[in-house]
Structure 1
Amino acid sequence: MPADKTQQSSARPPSGNADYQWAAFDSEAYFQHYYGEPHPDDDRVIRCAVETIKGAPPAGAELDIVDVGTGPNLIPLFCALPRAARITAWEYAQSNVDWLKADLVRADMRPQWRHFWAVTRTAYGPDWDLPEDPIPALQAKATIRQGSIFDLPARRWDAATMFFCAESITERPDEFEAACATFARCVKQGGALIAAFLVRSAGYVVAERSFPVLSLSPDSIETVFAAHASGIKAEKIGIVEREIRSGYSGFIFLTGTAR
């Protein structure tokens, strides 16, 4: 198998996606732990994503973009917004769907989102003339859709993003590969694929509930996507020997073209 399973316990078989209590996922606890204090690596992921989305084909056209496994996170929607005619946030957990809908109608934007939107605006540059407040545009363009990554329709969108989803829903390499395949195939041929994956993680805890992360390397991710995309590049971001936050010690940022 292309995924590295060295961090999984040899005392039991790897757990699958269905073994976890996604209905009990505490969205606010996750947000506070992972985005309560913005980290420079988050800013780096935004800059990488924006650079790819700016150049996504067809050049100059508005795109129909999907973000897969959005979770309680507006960052991927911010990155997509300036190029998007429409944005779909494809999310499985009902708690995350409800959280996203509520956050998009808040009277005031959280300070964390103000920070990440400022990073996004800077990454796009002054020629894009982006507003100080992105929420009205997101409200107009974004649809929050409840659905499993395994049920993504084929060849539906012009471009797709996926931040920390496929590797954090299972310990099973076959399920990870299936999730990446449906992600890659949901984009029309020639469309941009943009994804970020956690590195050196044995799982994560949200409100005292454990959830999985599959241990990955750049080579293993490229191997998985090789059957579905061309021009694949996998870049290491912020990988260190210690954990950055509970559950990971860096990212791998992947880009490719659906085929």
Structure 2
Amino acid sequence: MQDRDAASGRGNADYSWKEFDSEAYFQHYYGEPHPDDDLVIQVAVEALQRAKPLGEDLDIVDVGTGPNLIPFFCSLARARRLTAWEYAESNVAWLEREIARDDLRPQWQHFWRVVRDAYGDACPLPDNPLPALREKCSVTQGSIFDLPRQAWDAATMFFCAESITGRHDEFEAACAQFARCVRPGGMLAAAFLVRSEGYVVGDRPFPVLKLSPETIERVFREHAREVEAKEIGIVEREIRSGYSGFIFLTGSAL
């Protein structure tokens, strides 16, 4: 693990989250679908299919959703209720507008096809997920550090805890809150960026911590069992500015 003295780096409060450009982020990271995005979806769907109780609809939260419908798409088939827990006001507004649309943007059409293929014929899904999302989904403005304990059956987190702070103590605190927001035995699934020095959105810099699977497993073993972290899609060059692959973690909340 990286030295805990890294806590002296810039923390979450040092970044301009109120000025986060949601549409610029969407266009940069999802404007052109990439095979690694499809991989994230496939492993997330596999985890959600295994979420217990099997065969039952679940109350699911996605933490730090950002300008991204992929977490909703992955969880929709298993969700009784679906909550987006997002801090930035701009992202909350963006998500609400996006879900209110009549039709999916072409990029979301692609990712929704990947989700439908991942679930397969055993779980038929509609051509357009937006009506079901409007019925099941709510968007809550809140910090990961303020998540309520044991409030949901399952939780997902895509590229959040490592991309909101340059401090390892804050990263560990964020992961702890994420793990504790799920009822005992509930599924935890999270994706983390790899080999990044940070990212820029609308000319504003934001942080990303460098992490290894061993670091992530160590952090989560304090709060979960059956913890497994895998490197997926790791390459020697950046896929887009900000990362060159990801680590996918699964576990069961204590």
TM-score by length of 1: 0.96
Partner of 1:54: 49
Instruction: Tell me the secondary structure at the aligned position of residue 82 of structure 2.
Output: strand
1:39 aligns to 2:34 (yes or no): yes
SS of equivalent to 2:107: helix
State the aligned residue count.
254
Structure 1 position 69 matched with structure 2 position 60: no
Structure 1: runs of 5 or more not aligned: none
Could you list the structure 1 runs, at least 4 aligned residues long, displaced by more than 4 angstroms after superposition. none
RMSD: 1.4
More off after superposition, 236-245 vs 155-164:
236-245
- Which residue number corresponds to residue 157 of structure 2? 162
1:15 and 2:10 equivalent?
yes
TM-score by structure 2 length?
0.98
1:144 aligns with 2:139: yes
Write the distance in 2 (CA, Å) between the matches of 1:129 and 1:213. 37
CA 1:149–1:176: 2 relative to 1, 3 Å? same
1:128 to 116, 123, 127: 123
Of residues 68, 81, 89, the one that matches 1:94 is: 89
Partner of residue 254, structure 1: 249
Task: Find the aligned partners of 1:91 and 1:13 in 2 and give their Cα distance.
Answer: 25
Report how far residue 46 of structure 1 moved: 0.4
Report SS of the residue matched to 1:145.
strand
Match of 1:228 among 223, 226, 234: 223
- Distance in 1 separating the partners of 2:3 and 2:112: 35
Please name the residue that 2:177 is paired with.
182
Give a deviation string over 1:215-234, Cα, whole Å, max 9, x none.
10000000100100111111
Counterpart of 2:100 in 1: which secondary structure?
coil
Instruction: Give the CA deviation at 1:108.
Output: 2.2
Mapped contact 2:102–2:130 kept (Cα < 8 A) = no
Match of 1:111 in 2: 106
Q: Runs of 5+ in structure 2 lacking a partner? A: none
Q: Structure 1 pair 227/36, CA: closer, same or farther in 2 (3 Å)?
A: same
Answering whether residue 199 of structure 2 is matched by residue 204 of structure 1, we say: yes
Corresponding residue number in structure 2 for 1:243:
238
Q: How many angstroms apart in 2 are the aligned matches of 1:163 and 1:15? A: 21
Which shifted more, 18-27 or 102-111? 102-111
